[in-house]
Chains A and B, each alone.
Chain A
Amino acid sequence: MILWRDLNQAMILSMLRASDGDRSSRALIVIGALIVLLVVMSIFSLTAGAVGISTSDVFQTLALELVGGEADQTSSLVVLGIRAPRTVLGILVGASLAVGGAVMQSLFRNPLADPGLVGVSSGAALAAVTVIVLGIPAPLIALGATEFDALPFAAFSGALITTFSLYMIATRSGRTSTATMLLAGIAIAALAGAATGVLVFVADDQQLRDLTFWSLGSLAGATWPRVSAILPFIVPGFITAGLMAHGLNGLLLGEAQAFQTGINVQRVKFLAIVMVALAVGASVAVSGVIGFVGIVVPHILRLMIGPDNRYLLPACALTGANLLLAADIVSRTIVAPAELPIGIVTAILGGPFFLYLLLRQKGLVDV
């Protein structure tokens, strides 16, 4: 622990000293490095798996497909049909979870607010499970929705309701109580879990298999249609997040101070809640509940480049994408040809990290 603390301190101090308090150029370098890493990680993700396909074969297949040539059937199917959508989905989900976490932490002014911890993911999962077991709500059928379209929408609604309820419960006259937020989050997660449990009773065998997937989290079901099903949620989510980076910075000072510096506090809070719901809802809809990305990634990046959301949010998106790709590569190679659910991998990494956070900053929860 002491070593960790020293390392942390040393990291912050060296970053600060080097940049004389202005960490913006440092942030840009980190973002640049993360982009390079993401490219490398994506290639790695395309080559890793049960079927051995070399990096040059991957490039060859991609190149041939691009120019409309005839690629090797097997590698084409594996790379473009299975691994590519999985990689893209990993990037989207990882980025969403990390950015969703960072936005939520700014909204609650608290580094412990993580969509997975405080029940937002559970709420999204409950809504999705409801659609799986009980079917699509009538109004959506009237609009011609299939279960495929309905899932992200349901998960988004579930996430929106939980985030909003949590905010209403934990915030009184502009002050958010950490204890109330965490406890209310536990209560909401428990309620959502109980409701999901009831649904399990009425589910049939096929549905039960789907439900297991929700609780552990996995990228295994990745297909191109899945990717395109969540894009309408994730893209507006990212745009919203980017537009409100200033406003979120203001919120970090406090609601009154944000207003005084010229920020439309009500609008920023509303957008932040919607953004968290979009990002978490979309991720849960396609990959189930993957925990800890939303708390670990923003925390580490804040130590490196500071809490300025203009840099933090893009850096979070990139780091989240990298982390999830790495976790996914582990999840499908460590027990190959079987697969470990990715939620287990992130929990094994994230659980201890979270405990360490609590031990290191005991005062944090009393804020």
Chain B
Amino acid sequence: MFELDSVTVAFGRSVVVEQTSRRFENNRFTAIVGPNGAGKSTLLKLLTGELKPSSGCVLFNDLDIAGQPAHLLAGYRAVLSQSNHLSFPFSVYEVTGLGLQGASVDRKTRSRLIRQALEGVELSGYEGRLYQQLSGGEQQRVQLARVLCQLEASAAPDDQKFLFLDEPISSLDVRHQIKTLQIAKQYSRQGLGVVAVLHDLNLAARFADEVIVMRLGRCVADAAPKQAFTEDTLEYVFEVGFEVSADSEDRIRVSLRDIIDPPDMSAAPRRLI
């Protein structure tokens, strides 16, 4: 279990995340949504330990992660970052294998884990391709395979492990967006805690057990998608008019009310749209 204990992150005078406390449980798929600059990625970086809070602390199983060595954390959680640039001619197989760096696995297991992970992201047969020659979406899937490798090689029990995804579907086609979220969902059903920053509200509503809606460094709503994604909340946060409806199976659907004229947001602080 990860826990944010009244964390604040400030760069100079601008506050990016403000006084936020929240627990992240295993066996749950949590999506973080919000406009650009709302603090979503920062929140995720706090959880992964990449960023230290200006005040407050981040706990993993009740221990402050600030004091934990990198290899220990890596045994419990894997992270897919937003940007993944490589300047060297790695093959797809080799990039995926970098997820197994810390693990002591023999050659055969190594090869099996890598091929399994690539199969999971539908990149079987790409092992010998050069990473740099792939499209942006394919690169993103290779990185996901690397992250999944790290999780699979870890000896920790599933109900202790976590998967953090920062905009994992940003450059993917629709089919692979769904495929990727299905994988994440599958992991959360196995007992892992999954936390993902997403931009697509409908996919977040469809896959996540709970959503955190952020605006200006604060959590505006934090509940199951049906409760969190109300028209009022979404309009307040995104400053665009939304229509939220439920289908026959009680799944909610979010659509834009009017994409030509931004609504009058006189109640909320003005921003350029």
Q: Interface residues, chain A, CB within 8 Å of chain B?
A: 12, 16-17, 19-24, 109-111, 246, 249-250, 252-254, 256-257, 259-265, 302-303, 306-308, 364, 367
A12 touches B130 (CB 8 A): yes
Query: Which residues of A lie under 8 Å from residue B128 when comparing CB positions?
Result: 16-17, 19-21
Query: Contact between B91 and A260 (Cβ–Cβ < 8 Å)?
Result: no
Q: From residue 73 to 124 of chain B, which have CB atoms closer than 8 A to chain A?
A: 73-75, 78-79, 81, 83-95, 97-99, 101-102, 107, 111
Contact residues in A for B150 (Cβ distance below 8 Å):
261
Once the chains bind, are A259 and B50 in contact (CB under 8 Å)?
A: yes
**Is there an interface contact between A249 and B127, defined as CB atoms closer than 8 Å?**
no
A253 touches B84 (CB 8 A): yes
Chain B residue with Cβ nearest A106: B88
Known: A21-B92, A21-B129, A307-B90. A254 touches B85 (CB 8 A): yes
- Measured CA separation A246–B75 after assembly (Å): 16
Is B69 in contact with chain A by the CB < 8 A criterion?
A: yes
- Using Cβ atoms and an 8 Å threshold, which residues of chain B touch A249? 98, 101
A110 to B91 Cα, complex, angstroms = 17
In the complex, the answer to whether A250 meets B98 with C-beta atoms within 8 Å is yes
Number of interface residues of B (CB under 8 A): 40
Are B89 and A262 interface neighbours, CB within 8 A? Answer: no
Question: Which of chain B's residues has its CB closest to A24's CB?
Answer: B107
B74 A306 Cβ-Cβ under 8 A? no
Which residues on the A side are within 8 Å of B72 (C-beta)? 262
**Contact (Cβ within 8 A) A263 B70:** yes
Interface residue from B97, B98, B101, B127 paired with A20 (Cβ < 8 Å): B127
CB distance from B147 to the nearest CB of A (A): 8
Interface residue B271 (Cβ < 8 Å from any Cβ of A): no
When distances are taken between beta carbons in the complex, the residues of chain A under 8 Å from B69 are 264
Query: Residue of A at shortest CB range from B78?
Result: A260
- Is the CB of B13 closer than 8 A to any CB of chain A? no
Contact B89 A22, beta carbon cutoff 8 Å: no
What are 26 A-to-B residue pairs whose CB atoms are below 8 Å?
A12-B130, A16-B128, A21-B93, A21-B129, A22-B97, A109-B87, A246-B101, A250-B98, A252-B86, A253-B95, A256-B79, A257-B84, A259-B49, A259-B50, A260-B48, A261-B74, A261-B98, A261-B99, A261-B102, A262-B70, A262-B71, A263-B101, A264-B70, A306-B94, A307-B88, A367-B87
If A264-B69, A265-B70 touch, whether A257 touches B90 (CB-CB below 8 Å) is: no
Which residues of chain B are within 8 angstroms of A22 by Cβ–Cβ distance? 91, 93-94, 97, 111, 127
Bound together, the chains give a CA A17 to CA B48 distance in angstroms of 36
Q: Residues of B at under 8 Å CB distance from A?
A: 45, 48-50, 69-75, 78-79, 81, 83-95, 97-99, 101-102, 107, 111, 126-130, 150
- Whether A306 lies near B102 (C-beta < 8 A) is no
What are the residues of chain A within 8 A of B126 when measuring CB–CB? 21
Q: Chain A nearest CB: distance from B143 CB in Å? A: 8
In the complex, A111 Cα to B90 Cα: how many Å? 13
> What's the nearest-Cβ distance from chain B to residue A222, in Å?
34
Q: What residues of B have a CB within 8 angstroms of the CB of A308 in the complex?
A: 90, 94
- With known contacts A16-B130, A20-B93, A21-B129, A259–B101 Cβ distance under 8 A: no
**Chain A, residue nearest B96 (CB):** A21
Minimum Cβ distance to chain B for residue A181 (Å): 12
Q: Which of B85, B102, B107 contacts A262 (CB 8 A)?
A: B102
Q: Are B81 and A256 in contact (CB under 8 A)?
A: yes
Q: What are the residues of chain A within 8 A of B83 when measuring CB–CB?
A: 254
B87, B94, B97, B130: the one within 8 Å of A110 (CB): B87
User: A308's closest neighbor in chain B, by CB?
Assistant: B94
Given contacts A260-B79, A261-B74, contact A253 B91 (CB under 8 A): no
Chain A min CB distance to B117 (Å): 13
Residues of B within 8 A of A110 (CB): 87
Closest 3 interchain pairs by CB?
Answer: A262-B74, A21-B93, A21-B127
Question: Does A302 lie within 8 Å of B50, measured CB to CB?
Answer: no
How far, in angstroms, from A265 to B98 measured CA to CA in the complex?
A: 15
B78 contacts across to A, CB distance below 8 A: 260-261
In angstroms, how far is the closest chain B Cβ from the Cβ of A367? 6
- Which of B70, B87, B89 sits near A303, CB closer than 8 Å? B89
| B74 and A260 contact, CB distance less than 8 A | yes
